[in-house]
Structure 1
């Protein structure tokens, strides 16, 4: 099957990112990446506003080797839509070190959920983002959660910051744990006192809510590679300090739908400020993802 999409592709990642100074602990997990293509095997979904360049699993594996990442959670992207084969292929090649998060419609059959779970998918993801056509109704997502519980999967959500007060509050009724992407896409320039960030923290007062302290490079309006992302780092550090059991971290490689191309080595080095002591870092990148995503026993650290 060939990919009919002919639009120009957009390079969204560095071919040669820096090697971080920070040495990650054994078992470190990158809990949020995507894989794109190769399109000859895994065609892109039609109708996407942006067509990213191929970012196949081999590039991801090489990047993780350079950065010192040993485990990973690959998140299905709208680039491939509901065809989760590209992530399934990466999970299989990862031999237990790589797990997945699927994209599915809210009326996904139980048999498909069971099949995804058996292949190493630990969650399903839903978007509430205007720029990628988010039109999912939160009540429909909530109605799915008992069926997710039956196959031991959780819920991952990506929403715009103002949704923390609406969608976020409604998701407290979920029958499975909920993971919020990219710190709720809050505006880092508004600081920790802004109502959206305060609303995010109020959600995390419930222990079944979790957050990815990914996206420090996305939530500063003037962010650029080499800046250190101090405003994004400050919010991530606040979350890790306040909710040490409920945070996981990820690169968000290969950085689709972005304002610039981040340096993945710089994103790893930012962890020295986000989780400034060894215990906090170990919990963030080893213990928390191990517990949340249930890596196979041969790849557990405990």
Structure 2
């Protein structure tokens, strides 16, 4: 297969690139700075989102597109300027892919567009599946809703479109190294009251679910990319402490976190219990459905 990945140099993108190239697929990574990368076997870097680039002229017939592009949610305090960057970077990248699709003689069969469980808003007592169609009312929910609405325009071109709503992705990069750091210095513990839900997923299952979404033609629209066992922060943190063989005793008050992070504190103090009903119905076999096994695989290698 020929697969385009926007955001292919990031954490998830690198894992996907390795996964597909090992299978013998060819990955075309869209980047604003192709000059900073060297093509490898089955990997080609192509410039985009600048006036001088015409990626559609460099691409062969494409089977699937994956969109992971967008500014990091945890890249800094959510000032008005940062919030605008978070929103606009996602919309611009998605529109860029739509433009490529528009100019292709033969559009791809499927677009897998990155999304987030933030679509549902936050709650400490509700649970959510893909059958929950109403978006939340906070900043992240509004960003995700606009992001998905933009990507859905690919359907007008006959492209099967999947919105992969990522939970908290556990891997060697991302949030897990930051989460384990306090335990390294024996000051680990719950954040806030510890009641906030954490809908987590192992990076290998992220890759597996995206692969399934590409190849299973019955999958479309929203897909929750989360393990079937979300945990509250207190239980998650205790499990992490146990795997690391460190004490779990410290408590970071909510007020301290809000002072340090401002509105961005919602990422750690609020959450949602999200279940992957669609993947369960499609009989996807999770490699790591259990948190203890997931953490052990990543931290005890």
Query: Is the TM value for this pair above 0.5?
Result: no
Q: What's the TM-score once normalised by structure 2's chain length?
A: 0.35
Q: Which has the larger radius of gyration?
A: 2
Which structure features the higher share of helix residues?
2
Q: What's the TM-score once normalised by structure 1's chain length?
A: 0.35
Between 1 and 2, higher relative CO (CA 8 Å, sep ≥ 6) is seen in 1
Which structure features the higher share of strand residues?
2
